Amino acid sequence: MALAPNVYDAEPIPESARAEIERLLQTGDLFRYTAPEDAPVSLLEREFADMLGAKYALAVSSCSAALFLSLEALGLAPGTPVLIPAFTFAAVPSSIVHANCQPVLVEVGEDYRIDMKDFAAKLTEDVGAVIISHMRGHTSDMDAIMALCDAKGVPVIEDAAHSLGTTWHGRKVGTIGRVGCFSFQSYKLINSGEGGILITDDADLVARAVIMSGAYEHNWAKHKAPAGDNTGEMDRAFARWQNKLPLYNLRLSNLSAAIIRSQLPEVARRVRDGRANHDYVAAQLNASPWLSVPPALPPEERAPDSIQFNLMGFVSDAEARAFAEAAAARGVKVQVFGLSTDNARAFWNWQFIPGDRPDLPRTREMLMRACDVRLPARLTTPDLDFIAGALLSAAEDIKGELRAYGT
Ligand SMILES: *Cc1c(COP(=O)(O)O)cnc(C)c1O
């Protein structure tokens, strides 16, 4: 019998990183602001902004730091409500609490996307910003979201931690809102262990974020304007904010930047293979009456490195748990978001959110039957067949028997 594929190991770091890492080790030049210009972190920012088609990028220590700095850069008053989907990672409401604002959770449907009716109802006059978390790379209706937010002048921050390479009407996710934030943590498309980056076209916002990320004194001068930009817009923005903002020191090191830069040429392949792998497994799962992979909204082209599906007709939590156990016995680890203890993606575990935490029955119901399986781009067809086969058999283990009794 084939062995269960290891879905947790990352891909090796490309060979091309080694010479640069060796140089950094030899010179000890690890701090982004030591070199007078062209430090690896600065080069990464320019390359990443160009790759996404944004004017500015700021590399930081994590996507959480990027989200926090985005909120701080917007200058929201303490206690300002910030909308987020109720299906996201605990780091997202945490970044809002960190910025002294108040997370307000919006219902998410069984297709893992924001419930637009609840979103419209909760987008009240006092809301200062919206963070759209493209959770597990699933894109909500960005047309409707941008129309509502633009009409009210509410800035949108895209949490694209898991969406590098995803497009919406052909436009790169992360460039639709005022700011886009990405992660380089090991379970994302680019892996440097830890790291994050924000992109924006807003010179004032990026200047504020750069200073607060830890560009003390005149280190901001080492941040490059876009090629051919002679407007001096960035420098004027830096001059406006000099000495007026706290320094949170959330910088990225040159070593991490070298590791990230070596993977930029890999992005297109990882996106293509991840999408093909996902669609291959999704087609097999959708052939089962017990498993359902919700379709993307039509404008979305995905870049997945995992697959989510719903258990259909599983009437009790015990049945859903039995499915996860049967899949584990067949070598595939399934996480049912709402059923594992202390899951960081289950909103009822975000007890650090101050004030009332109203229930969100729609999201809760989804989380109790939504399954998560990692599906990294490097998997081979036999690996994918093994995973799909184990999931289909596990569903049959639990539901097939019942069906036999029922007939
Ligand atoms: C991973 C992730 C984060 C947090 O990223 P870090 O770089 O670990 O801070 C935030 N949001 C989503 C949707 C994520 O998947």
| C-beta 92 within 6 A of ligand 1 | yes
CA distances from 339 to 13, 17, 334 (A): 34, 40, 11
List pLDDT tens digits, range 258-306. 999 999 999 999 999 999 999 999 999 999 999 999 999 999 999 999 9
* Averaged pLDDT for residues 156-166: 97
* Averaged pLDDT for residues 215-241: 92
| C-beta 196 within 6 A of ligand 1 | yes
Is 26 a residue whose pLDDT tops 60? Answer: yes
Distance 156 CA to ligand 1 centre (A): 17
Region for residue 330 given its phi and psi (left: phi exceeds 0; alpha: psi -120 to 50; beta: otherwise) = alpha
Instruction: Report the pLDDT value the prediction gives residue 230, as an integer from 0 to 100.
Output: 86
| C-beta 253 within 6 A of ligand 1 | no
* Averaged pLDDT for residues 7-30: 95
Q: How many whole angstroms separate alpha carbon 71 and alpha carbon 361?
A: 28
Is 2 a residue whose pLDDT tops 70? Answer: no
Contact 400, 291 (CB under 8 A): no
List pLDDT tens digits, range 356-392. 889 999 999 999 999 999 999 999 999 999 999 999 9
User: To the nearest whole percent, how much of the chain has pLDDT over 90?
Assistant: 93
401 pLDDT band (50/70/90 cuts)?
low
Instruction: Report the pLDDT value the prediction gives residue 5, as an integer from 0 to 100.
Output: 92
| C-beta 159 within 6 A of ligand 1 | yes
| C-beta 107 within 6 A of ligand 1 | no
CA distances from 179 to 71, 73, 146, 202 (A): 10, 10, 13, 8
Distance 158 CA to ligand 1 centre (A): 12
Distance 271 CA to ligand 1 centre (A): 18
Q: How many whole angstroms separate alpha carbon 325 and alpha carbon 183?
A: 31
Q: How many whole angstroms separate alpha carbon 163 and alpha carbon 271?
A: 10
Of 185, 197, 305, which is best to mutate to test ligand 1, by the most ligand atoms within 8 angstroms of its C-beta?
A: 185
| C-beta 163 within 6 A of ligand 1 | no
Is 28 a residue whose pLDDT tops 80? Answer: yes
Range 222-228, long-range pairs (CB < 8 A, 24+ positions): 222/32, 222/33, 222/36, 222/37, 222/39, 222/42, 223/42, 223/45, 223/56, 223/58, 224/42, 224/45, 224/46, 226/49, 226/55, 226/56, 227/46, 227/50
CA distances from 316 to 75, 349, 398 (A): 46, 21, 12
Is 228 a residue whose pLDDT tops 90? Answer: no
Rounded (5°) CA angle 306-309-310: 155
Which residue CA neighbors atom 2 of ligand 1 most closely?
A: 161
* Averaged pLDDT for residues 58-66: 98
Q: Give the CA count within 13 Å in the CB-facing half-sphere of 267.
A: 17
Is 320 a residue whose pLDDT tops 50? Answer: yes
| C-beta 305 within 6 A of ligand 1 | no
Judged by DSSP in three states, 289 sits in coil
| C-beta 173 within 6 A of ligand 1 | no
* Averaged pLDDT for residues 21-25: 97
- Mean per-residue pLDDT of the chain: 96
Is 176 a residue whose pLDDT tops 50? Answer: yes
Contact 310, 291 (CB under 8 A): yes
1 pLDDT band (50/70/90 cuts)?
low
List pLDDT tens digits, range 117-143. 999 999 999 999 999 999 999 999 999
Domains in the chain (CATH in brackets) are 17-265 (3.40.640.10), 266-406 (3.90.1150.10)
| C-beta 306 within 6 A of ligand 1 | no
* Averaged pLDDT for residues 56-69: 98
Residue 66 CA: which ligand 1 atom is closest?
9
Residue 62 CA: which ligand 1 atom is closest?
7
Neighbouring-strand partners of residue 131:
157
List pLDDT tens digits, range 257-271. 999 999 999 999 999
Of 134, 159, 190, which is best to mutate to test ligand 1, by the most ligand atoms within 8 angstroms of its C-beta?
A: 159
Least confident of 78-87, 157-166, 228-237: 228-237
| C-beta 372 within 6 A of ligand 1 | no
Is 316 a residue whose pLDDT tops 90? Answer: yes
Instruction: Report the pLDDT value the prediction gives residue 402, as an integer from 0 to 100.
Output: 54
